[in-house]
Amino acid sequence: MSAAQEETISVPASYGQTSNTLAQYEQQYTRSIGSVAGTADRFWIEQASRLDWEQRPTRGDESSFDPVEIRWFADGVLNICHNAVDRHVAAGRGDDRAIVFEPDDPDGAVRRLTYRELQAEVVRCANTLKAMGVGRGDRVTIYLPMIVEGAIAMLACARIGAVHSVIFAGFSADAIAGRIADCASEYVICADEGRRGGRIVPLKANIDTALAKLAVKAVLVVRNTGAPVPMQEGRDHWYDEASRDVADTCPCEPMGAEDPLFILYTSGSTGKPKGVLHTTGGYAVWAETTFRAVFDYRPGELFWCTADIGWVTGHSYIVYGPLLAGASVLMFEGVPNFPDHSRFWQVIARHGVNIFYTAPTAIRALMREGTSYVEGHDLSSLRLLGSVGEPINPEAWQWYHEHVGASRIPVVDTWWQTETGGIMITTLPGAHGMKPGSAGKPFFGVVPQLVDNDGKVLDGVAEGLLCITQSWPGQARTIYGDHDRFVLTYFAHFKGKYFTGDGCRRDADDYYRITGRVDDVINVSGHRMGTAEVESALDSHHDVAEAAVVGFPHDIKGQGIYCFVTLNAGIEPTESLVAELKQQVRAQIGPIATPDHIQFAPALPKTRSGKIMRRILRKIAEHEFDALGDTSTLADASLIDGLIADRRNAG
């Protein structure tokens, strides 16, 4: 890292009006982590008091990391939908813009919903769900494209106390089936079809395939493209028909702060995705507080987060965070490069977006196309830029800052995870200068710690494994139906600490720079992918004896998927087999998991005890042939030269 990249770039003094001067940050941070006994609970109960509670919480943090039990605001009662929607209408903000919808096709219809209109739609959806039999605690699977109904369906579930499980519309039928079965969800909301980048996604057909071997009580189908799709008598209902005659009021179910709000599946080190569970009160406070402070949101502004509601970023910063704060949010159905690479900038100019939050992979892809697509679009409405999902390389950061931000707009690089519920490490505009490539400082309530492999705490300037030592309100409570796995995944490596799975460097100014995952999770275009998931998809092919999957640096995607595959005896490696294996992975997981490279290997490097040495395979995939490290424990070291030669040939 060169000195120039470590330089701090200051933020104009006009930022941080909400509460983010450096002195305020430091004072609030100290209170928020409870350096002085009792202050943390008072701090967080104050934050919580911006929301409406049917019963105000008097208790704050009652969490423990050993044994593992996470609990916040336990005696509070509230409804998050009331807070995100009805509260604003009741306060006279019903005519404020809630959601602006920009379609995939630039010539399609823009849809605008005020908070009052959003309330009516949410009530309609909630009553329709009730009429189908959905009740408090029931799991509802939502498989929708990026249309307004996605946000409406989530809020409608929350309104009636049902637990939503949103599945990214890019996942395949197999992936859907696994997720529906895991949480025993008996209700599904989908659309006939989705649109993305000019292409059609057959959502209802995927649901039908997923449900071939699963019984659910009802499927609610949103008419989106209007395509004819088969409807199963008694099970499937068109949303427009089912919702026609429902009542126009629906009370918000009073929920305990620790009642479940949603499940969101995410990849881990093992083959089976984990159903990360978030509860109501702590998540609401975290989403609202982080949104306000990090994006320095001011009334009337338009906020755009380009994530999909199928990921946690969409949950927290398209739906809950902005709406809880009464903000106006843009929802975009499309992709950055359709119809051409200026799509993002067109949308910003068209709607006067003030705050723009996207992923490094999108920035890199657009950067590659040159600046001509950015130039000529009026981006003067922009006031703040954000990045999320993966480490942003300083070059991409600079490009974003210079060409999108006219070198004057601050960039917040926000590090967080599905499990953290919301932003954890970032600079706050107004309080902190920026360092390209560094996420920055811990948010209120977050106490990061770096440790080495043996758990020894590293102080000062250091590089190590990132842990968080005490709970924060937005923390995931468990893995649905498997608390042991929750404990084992996050709290067993280093007792009494939450282990993030990320590597991290802390510099002399106490800025944190995330270096990437240190476990068997790779980050492809900001999407988390368990290498074990891809391996099990490959292993299930009848010609495959064994597969090992690793990440490798990819210019656009951050990391690409590299597969070493050993075939069964007598099977010839062919181009068509490569295509078949790629297709197998797409079918079992989804297009985002498509392998970039498949390298056939006569055998995989293993230790004498039979463990695949992924560390070595990773180095080979990365072209780091001189850095293989200790190979003395290999059972058959002669294998390596052949693997390297084949890797060289693959380019």
Nearest distance from C-beta of residue 638 to ligand 6R9, angstroms: 36
Q: Which stretch binds ligand 6R9 (CB under 6 A): 410-418, 553-561, 601-609, 616-624?
A: 410-418
Task: Decide if residue 525 touches ligand 6R9 (CB under 6 A).
Answer: no
- The secondary element (H helix, E strand) that includes residue 278 is strand 274-279
- Alpha-carbon distance of 388 to 392, in angstroms, equals 8
Nearer residue to ligand 6R9 within complex by CB, 201 or 439: 439
Mark the segment that binds ligand 6R9 (CB under 6 A) among 286-294, 456-464, 509-517, 621-629.
509-517
Query: Residue 229 or 476: which CB sits closer to ligand 6R9?
Result: 476
Binding mask 457-496 for ligand 6R9 (x = CB under 6 A): ----------------------------------------
The minimum distance between CB 385 and ligand 6R9, in angstroms, equals 13
User: Which residues ranging from 416 to 435 are in contact with ligand 6R9 (CB under 6 A)?
Assistant: 416-418
The amino acid at 570: G
Q: Let me know: does 129 contact 378? Beta carbons within 8 Å.
A: no
Binding-site size, ligand 6R9 (CB under 6 A):
24
Q: Least distance from C-beta 551 to ligand 6R9, angstroms? A: 11
Under the criterion CB under 6 A, does residue 439 sit at the interface with ligand 6R9? Answer: yes
Name the minimum Å distance from CB 110 to ligand 6R9. Answer: 28
Q: Residue 646 contacts by C-beta under 8 Å, 6 or more apart in sequence?
A: 599, 600, 601
Q: How far is the CB of 346 from ligand 6R9 (least distance, A)?
A: 26
Structure-block tokens of residue 381 = 């409405």
501 binds ligand 6R9 (CB under 6 A): yes
Tell me whether residue 45 or residue 312 sits nearer to ligand 6R9 (CB atom). 312
Pick 40 or 409: Cβ nearer ligand 6R9: 409
> Minimum distance between the CB of residue 411 and ligand 6R9, rounded to whole angstroms?
11
User: Least separation, in Å, of the C-beta of 553 and ligand 6R9?
Assistant: 14
**Closest separation in Å from C-beta 236 to ligand 6R9:** 31
Nearer to ligand 6R9, 5 or 39 (CB): 5
| Beta bridge mates, 97 | 114
Which of 118/514 has CB closer to ligand 6R9?
A: 514
Binder among 523, 536, 584, 599 for ligand 6R9 (CB under 6 A): 523
Closest of 180, 115, 123 to residue 155, by C-alpha: 123
Q: Are 148 and 97 in contact (CB under 8 A)?
A: no
Nearer to ligand 6R9, 280 or 316 (CB): 316
Q: What span, in angstroms and rounded, lies between the C-alpha atoms of 321 and 303?
A: 11
Min dist CB 474 to ligand 6R9, Å, is 11
Q: Among 104, 296, 308, 413, which residue sits at the site for ligand 6R9 (rule: CB under 6 A)?
A: 413
DSSP conformation letters of 257-269: TTSEEEEEEE--S
Which of residues 53 and 416 has its CB atom nearest to ligand 6R9 in the complex? Answer: 416
DSSP 8-state assignment for residue 181: H
Interface with ligand 6R9 (CB under 6 A), residue from 97, 124, 528, 606? 528
Query: What is the rounded CA–CA span in Å between residue 229 and residue 317?
Result: 32
d(CA 235, CA 187): 10
Any contact of residue 279 with ligand 6R9 (CB under 6 A)? Answer: no
Nearer to ligand 6R9, 289 or 523 (CB): 523
Scan residues 237-266 and list those touching ligand 6R9 (CB under 6 A): 266
296-325 mask for ligand 6R9 (x: CB under 6 A)? Answer: ---------------xxx------------
- CB of 115 or CB of 498, closer to ligand 6R9: 498
Question: Could you give the CA distance from residue 48 to residue 58 in angstroms, rounded to a whole number?
Answer: 10
Indicate the Cα dihedral angle 494, 524, 593, 148, nearest 10°.
100
73, 295, 415, 564: residue in contact with ligand 6R9 (rule CB under 6 A): 415
Residue 502 near ligand 6R9 by CB under 6 A: yes
Nearest distance, CB of residue 464 and ligand 6R9, angstroms: 15
User: φ and ψ at 136, to 5 degrees?
Assistant: -50, 130
Q: Please, which residue, 122 or 309, has the CB nearer to ligand 6R9?
A: 309
CA 18 to CA 634: how far, in whole Å? 58
> What residue ranges in 77-149 does DSSP mark as E strands?
77-78, 97-102, 111-114, 139-143
Interhelix angle for 115-131 vs 148-160, to 10°?
60
Q: How far is the CB of 381 from ligand 6R9 (least distance, A)?
A: 24
Dihedral sign computed on CA atoms, order 464, 414, 289, 125: negative
Is residue 376 packed enough to be buried (19+ CB in 10 Å), middle (13-18) or exposed (0-12)? exposed
Q: How far is the CB of 118 from ligand 6R9 (least distance, A)?
A: 25
Q: Which stretch binds ligand 6R9 (CB under 6 A): 361-369, 500-508, 571-579, 633-641?
A: 500-508
Any contact of residue 101 with ligand 6R9 (CB under 6 A)?
no
The interface with ligand 6R9 within residues 132-161 (CB under 6 A) comprises none
Q: Residue 145 or 501: which CB sits closer to ligand 6R9?
A: 501
CB of 585 to ligand 6R9, least distance (A): 19
Can you tell me the distance from the alpha carbon of 470 to that of 497, in angstroms, rounded to the nearest whole number? 7
- Which residues 331-390 are close enough to bind ligand 6R9 by CB under 6 A? 387-390
522-558 burial, b at 16+ Cβ within 10 Å, e below that, comes to: bbbbbbbbbbbbbbbbbeebebbebbbbbbbebeebb
Burial class (CB in 10 A: 0-12, 13-18, 19+), 13: exposed
Mention every residue, 6+ apart, whose C-beta is less than 8 A from residue 645: none
DSSP string, 313-361: HHIIIIIIHHHHTT-EEEEE-S-TTSSSTTHHHHHHHHHT-SEEEE-HH
What's the closest the beta carbon of residue 179 comes to ligand 6R9, in angstroms? Answer: 15
Question: Do residues 378 and 347 touch, judged by C-beta distance below 8 A?
Answer: no
Decide if residue 414 touches ligand 6R9 (CB under 6 A). Answer: yes
**Cβ 201 vs Cβ 194: under 8 Å:** yes
| Residue appearing with tokens 């089976």 | 272
Segment near ligand 6R9 (CB under 6 A); pick from 103-111, 407-415, 489-497, 625-633? 407-415
Query: Tokens 């209802």 correspond to what residue?
Result: 204
Binding stretches for ligand 6R9 (CB under 6 A): 266, 311-313, 387-391, 413-418, 439, 500-502, 514, 516-517, 523, 528
